[in-house]
């Protein structure tokens, strides 16, 4: 189970799949979700298997999520900000024309 070691309080909120997530300034979407115990961030485009954070430094692209309607955003490279709408990414991304 994750826990925070600093006593600060969460002052930023955003949503993940409609659920309100409380975060701290300096968090990334990935770290805030990790602190909330959310591990499943996307489904693989190949097999549909669940995936979560892996490298946390922008190398592996396993934490791809949809942020404010934009797919393929790296959750670990996206700083939290108030009222972001983050969604799980299911499979591949379809190009909308």
Partner 1 sequence: MTRLKDVVIIGAGPAGMACAVEAAAKGLSTVVLDENPQPGGQVYRAIESASENRLRVLGHDYARGRELASEFRQSSGVDYHPGSTVWNIGPDRLVEFSRDGKSSAIRASHLVVATGAIERPCPLPGWTLPGVTTAGALQILLKTSGITYQDTVLTGSGPLLWLLAAQMVDAGSPPKAIVETVPRGRLFNALPELMTALGAREYLLKGMSMIRKVKRAGVRIHVGADDIAIEGSGAVSAIRFRSKGTEHRIATDAVALHQGVVPNQQVTRLLGCRHFWDDSQKCFRPKLSEDRETSCAHVYVAGDGGGIEGAKSAEMQGRLVGLAIAEKEGHGTDPRISELRLTLKREAHVRPFLEKLYAPSRQILHPDDATVICRCEEVTAGSVREAVTQGAPGPNQVKSFLRTGMGPCQGRICGLVVTSVISESGGKSPDDVDYYRIRPPLKPLPLAELADYSADIPGSRDTA
Q: Which of 16, 31, 65, 75 binds partner 1 (CB under 8 A)?
A: 31
Is residue 29 close enough to count as binding partner 1 by CB under 8 A?
no
Structure tokens at 72: 């393929």
- Name 76's Cβ contacts closer than 8 Å, sequence gap at least 6: 28, 29, 30, 31, 53, 55, 56, 57, 58, 63
Q: Which of 17, 19, 26, 68 binds partner 1 (CB under 8 A)?
A: 26
Distance, CA of 20 to CA of 9 (rounded, Å) = 15
Q: 79, 86, 85, 82: which is closest to 11 by C-alpha?
A: 82
- For residues 72 to 91, the per-residue mask of contacts with partner 1, x marking binding by CB under 8 A and - elsewhere, is x---xx-x------------
Q: Which of 11, 15, 19, 55 binds partner 1 (CB under 8 A)?
A: 55
Is residue 59 close enough to count as binding partner 1 by CB under 8 A?
yes
Q: Which of 15, 19, 58, 91 binds partner 1 (CB under 8 A)?
A: 58
Distance, CA of 90 to CA of 93 (rounded, Å) = 8
Q: Minimum CB separation from partner 1 for residue 23, in Å? A: 9
């Amino acid at each position: 189970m994750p826990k925070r070691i600093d006593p600060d309080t969460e002052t930023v909120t955003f949503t993940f799949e409609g659920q309100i997530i409380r975060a701290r300034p300096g968090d990334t979407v990935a770290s805030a979700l990790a602190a909330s115990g959310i591990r499943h961030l996307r489904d693989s485009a190949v097999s549909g298997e669940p995936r979560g954070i892996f490298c946390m430094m922008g190398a592996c692209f396993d934490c791809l999520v949809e942020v404010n309607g934009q797919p393929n955003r790296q959750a670990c490279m996206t700083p939290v900000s108030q009222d972001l709408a983050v969604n799980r990414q299911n499979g591949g991304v379809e190009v909308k024309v």
